[in-house]
Amino acid sequence: MSEDPLKALSDMASDAHARIQAAHQHINPVVEVRRGMRDAGIPADVMTIDCLRTRRRITLILHDGQPGLMLYQFVTMDDEVGNDFKQMPLADVAVDTLFDWMQDYFG
């Protein structure tokens, strides 16, 4: 894993995005890194993966206070992010993980 966890996660999301587009043209997710939490003084990076067709969102958070962990949540684009995040070691996240999540949740 890269020394920069956000770059590593971004690279995996980019690869998963390309695979999803090749396998499921109807899904066409939008991946975005958001700076809002850092701009508000919260030491965390946020990535969202949206499906405009289903209006579903996967939210991924890398919090400086929990190094080595990725927090994640499946919501809709209309919902506010809640407090019920699941977590997994960032070392366990792979392109296949993100691909499967997009395929299953957005498909």
Among residues 81, 21, 64, the alpha carbon closest in space to that of 72 is found at 81
Residues 49 and 40: their CA atoms lie apart, in Å, by: 21
86's torsion region: left (phi>0), alpha (psi -120 to 50) or beta?
beta
pLDDT tier at 32, thresholds 50, 70, 90: very high
Average pLDDT, the chain: 93
Name the token pair of 73.
């949540």
| The pLDDT value given to residue 15 | 97
How large is the average pLDDT for residues 65-92?
93
Q: What is the reported pTM?
A: 0.92
